[in-house]
Amino acid sequence: MSSWDDMLSGKPFSCADPEIEAAAGRCREVLFDFNHTRDREAAVAQLRSLFGRTGQSFWVETGFHCDYGCNISVGERFYANAGCVILDECPVTFGRDCMLGPHVGIYTATHPIEGAQRRLGLEYGRPVTIGDDVWIGGHAVINPGVTIGSNVVVASGAVVTRDVPDHCVVAGNPAKIIRRLDGAHEISSGTF
């Protein structure tokens, strides 16, 4: 297996591997162009060339960063506000109708706990999966290996360290369920 395959499968890998460095370099070039264009059609085309899969309708505000891009899949009507960071060493998959507030961080990358192991330069990842109709508030963090169900609200500033079931609101650090949603189509003016 290559280092790229090791990375995608969650095995330890070195980000200094030439194949991985080349993929990261391509991503940086596309992101530079994306983050500096004023042409919306060009920006969408750049993201389509970068992401693994997109819906027909999606948008990401500038100030966006990811490591490789090709490991990110976004569903229909995906929206990410300014300053979004997605570290996609492993797959990051979004369902339909997902909204990310400003400065949301979604991380698949992680490192060994022991300093001696970190000094070896190895890292590994765990995939992140996010269902349909998910709203992630500003400055929230989704940690490696987390699955978020459908019809979920992640409150601003929450740090999600464990899986989140369908139909709930989570908040805090670490995030905990603070409300169950009954699935009714209510319109509320609640701020999270």
Active site positions, annotated: 111
Beta bridge partners of 94: 130
Exposure of 9 in the CB half-sphere (CA atoms within 13 A): 8
User: How many other CB atoms are there within 10 angstroms of residue 101's CB atom?
Assistant: 22
Q: How far apart are CA 79 and CA 17, in angstroms?
A: 32
* CA distances for 160 relative to 2, 18, 39, 147, angstroms: 31, 32, 35, 10
